[in-house]
Amino acid sequence: MKLSHIEHIGIAVSNLDEAISFYEEVLGMKCYAVEEVKDQKVKTAFFMVGQTKIELLESTDPEGPIGKFIDKKGQGIHHIAFAVDNLKDALPELEEKGVRLIDRTPRKGAEGLNIGFLHPKSTFGVLTELCEDPKK
Ligand code: ZN
C-alpha cells in the first residue's frame, strides 16, 4: 500500500452556503463542485488548493454521520483523506495489520472516487479515509 498525497480534508459545517462564502470571499478559493451524497446524508462543496481538496460537509439529516458529529463535537475537521493507488488491496492489508475498518470493501464517494474509512479508534482519534480515483 502506498499513499501518494492528502486527497482532501473533510470539514463539517452547519451551513454550507455560509461556509462557501467564507472560503470564496475571505480565503479566495473557488468552489468548483457542489454534490449531494445521499447514502452519507451530506451535501458537499469542493475547493482545490495545490493538489489537495477541501471538502465542506453539511448534513442533510440530523441522524446522519455529519449531523451526529456536529451535535457531539461542533463544526470542525471531520476527516482526513489520503490518495491510494489500490484501495481493494489496501483495506484487507490494513485489517491484517490490526486496523479496525469502517469499510471492509471500497464504496462510492463524492466525485466518483472509491473510498474506504478507517475507524478513529485505530488511527489516534482521526477519522481516516482512503480514496482511489478509478480513472487513474
Ligand atoms: Zn472525504
Nearest to 77 by CA among 24, 34, 129, 25: 129
Q: Is residue 83 one of the residues assigned to a domain?
A: no
Residue 12 in any domain: the answer is: yes
Collapsed DSSP state (helix, strand, coil) of residue 109 = coil
> Is residue 111 within 8 Å of residue 104, measured between CB atoms?
no
Q: How far is the centre of ligand 1, averaged over its atoms, from the C-alpha of 96 (Å)?
A: 23
In a domain, 135, yes or no: no
Measure the CA–CA gap between 40 and 111, rounded to whole angstroms.
13
Q: Cell digits for 28? A: 479566495
Q: Flag whether 1 is in a domain.
A: yes
Q: Is the pTM of the predicted complex or chain greater than 0.85?
A: yes
25 CA distance to ligand 1 middle (Å):
23
pLDDT per residue as tens digits for the range 57-111: 999 999 999 999 999 999 999 999 999 999 999 999 999 999 999 999 999 988 8
Check which CATH number belongs to the domain holding 41 and give it.
3.10.180.10
CA of 63 to the centre of ligand 1 (A): 18
Question: In terms of residue numbers, what domain contains 61?
Answer: 1-76
Instruction: Specify the range with the lowest mean pLDDT, choosing from 26-30, 67-71, 132-136.
Output: 132-136
Report pLDDT for 57. Answer: 98
In a domain, 104, yes or no: no
Residue 130 inside a domain? The answer is no
Instruction: Decide: helix, strand or coil at residue 120.
Output: helix
Residue 92, domain member (yes or no): no
Question: Separation of 53 CA from ligand 1 center, angstroms?
Answer: 9
Q: Please tell me which residue, 135 or 24, carries the higher pLDDT value.
A: 24
Number of domains composing the chain: 1
